[in-house]
């Protein structure tokens, strides 16, 4: 008789489209590295099927999972509760189990902003900083709220669509102690003097539109600034190149992607994964 188990512990991502999401490569590299017989499945789920998919995840004993576009807000009604950060952000990208037995609850967490803050901490402390943020979508919301919870004092939200930008500035003022103003994005934006951190949280530069450039007066990027891009694919965006040429401290989107994966991994398995293994797996995917 063999004592070998043929049953792996399961985790997943639900999204649509989802086939090009590289998270499996990063997470499974870490499962192997840490000797865990776990799997991370990339599962296409249509919006109308999301409730059934979450019930399936519960029924089949998944240990946790991620949500990506278009499920980050819609999933909330199918969960048993939210963490404080996910509630403030208004979106969930990570499902985790809390409690034991009958008290076990499937909780929505948001690791996007935390992943960003962790990669920023590698170069500067967010506390007391003044931040210019391009974009006001899901990634911007998560980054803004987590930066504010980490002590960032002021935000300038620059967005093409007025309504979304106004909503994010209001969310930051209402849900955190930070100051936040909205600027409508028209023409090349000039970064105000005294800005510490500039964040691209739009999808500008994302594959396949790799030559796209932010409408930004590049001459206003100065040496003391940290410039961070959320775009993971390709990590070397025009903004990353321009900011490096201007002598800024630069963070690419892989740092955020790896760090949010590290947090999810830890929440699901209880094991602190090696981020360098996860980054190497992504660099292989993106052919760096």
Q: Map residue 52 onto helix, strand or coil.
A: helix
Site string for ligand NDP, 207-246 (x = CB under 6 A): -----------------------xxx--------------
Instruction: For residue 113, state whether it binds ligand NDP (rule: CB under 6 A).
Output: no
Instruction: For residue 139, state whether it binds ligand NDP (rule: CB under 6 A).
Output: yes
Binding segment (CB under 6 A) for ligand NDP, from list 1-9, 16-24, 31-39, 138-146:
138-146
In 3-state terms the chain splits into helix, strand, coil percentages (rounded to 5) of 40, 20, 40
Out of 64, 65, 253, 275, point to the residue binding ligand NDP (CB under 6 A). Answer: 253
Out of 83, 159, 238, 269, point to the residue binding ligand NDP (CB under 6 A). Answer: 159
Instruction: For residue 144, state whether it binds ligand NDP (rule: CB under 6 A).
Output: no
Omega prior to 56 cis, within 30 of 0:
no
Instruction: For residue 260, state whether it binds ligand NDP (rule: CB under 6 A).
Output: yes
Instruction: For residue 137, state whether it binds ligand NDP (rule: CB under 6 A).
Output: yes
Q: Look at strands 64-67 and 154-159 and give their pairing.
A: unpaired
User: For ligand NDP, which is the closer residue by CB, 152 or 260?
Assistant: 260
User: For ligand NDP, which is the closer residue by CB, 195 or 201?
Assistant: 201
Residue 72 bears catalytic tag: yes
CA dist 259 and 113 (Å) reads 10
CA dist 111 and 281 (Å) reads 20
User: For ligand NDP, which is the closer residue by CB, 103 or 218?
Assistant: 218
Q: Look at strands 64-67 and 94-98 and give their pairing.
A: antiparallel
Binding segment (CB under 6 A) for ligand NDP, from list 43-51, 94-102, 216-224, 252-260:
252-260
Q: Map residue 187 onto helix, strand or coil.
A: coil
User: For ligand NDP, which is the closer residue by CB, 76 or 80?
Assistant: 76
Binding segment (CB under 6 A) for ligand NDP, from list 56-64, 236-244, 254-262, 280-288:
254-262
CB burial class (10 A; 0-12, 13-18, 19+) of residue 25? middle
Q: What is the DSSP track for 111-132?
A: -HHHHHHHHHHTT---TT-EEE
Alpha helices in 135-205 (DSSP H): 138-149, 162-175
Q: Is the dihedral of CA 10, 49, 203, 140 positive or negative?
A: negative
Give residues in contact with ligand NDP (CB under 6 A).
112, 115, 135-140, 159-161, 164, 201-204, 206, 230-232, 253, 256-257, 260
Which residues are designated catalytic? 72
């Amino acid at each position: 008789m063999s004592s070998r188990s043929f049953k792996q512990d399961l985790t997943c991502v639900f999204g649509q489209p989802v086939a090009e999401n590289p998270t499996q490569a990063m997470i499974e590299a870490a499962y192997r590295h840490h000797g865990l017989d776990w799997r991370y499945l990339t599962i296409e789920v249509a919006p109308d099927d999301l409730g059934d998919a979450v019930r399936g995840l519960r029924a089949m004993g998944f240990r946790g999972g991620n949500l990506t576009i278009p499920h980050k807000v819609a999933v909330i009604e199918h969960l048993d509760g939210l963490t404080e950060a996910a509630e403030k952000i208004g979106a969930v990208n990570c499902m985790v189990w809390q409690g034991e037995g009958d008290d076990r609850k499937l909780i929505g967490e948001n690791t996007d902003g935390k992943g960003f803050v962790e990669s920023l901490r590698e170069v500067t402390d967010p506390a007391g900083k003044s931040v210019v943020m391009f974009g006001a979508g899901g990634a911007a919301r998560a980054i803004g709220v987590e930066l504010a919870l980490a002590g960032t004092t002021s935000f300038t939200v620059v967005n093409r669509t007025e309504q979304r930008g106004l909503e994010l500035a209001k969310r930051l003022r209402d849900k955190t102690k930070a100051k936040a103003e909205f600027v409508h994005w028209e023409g090349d934006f000039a970064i105000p003097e005294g800005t510490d951190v500039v964040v691209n949280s739009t999808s500008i530069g994302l594959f396949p539109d790799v030559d796209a450039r932010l409408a930004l007066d590049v001459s206003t990027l100065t040496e003391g600034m940290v410039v961070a891009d959320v775009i993971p694919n390709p990590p070397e965006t025009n903004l990353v190149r321009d900011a490096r040429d201007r002598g800024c401290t630069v963070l690419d989107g892989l740092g955020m992607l790896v760090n949010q994966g590290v947090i999810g991994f830890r929440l699901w398995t209880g094991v602190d994964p090696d981020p360098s293994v996860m980054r190497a797996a992504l660099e292989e995917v993106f052919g760096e």
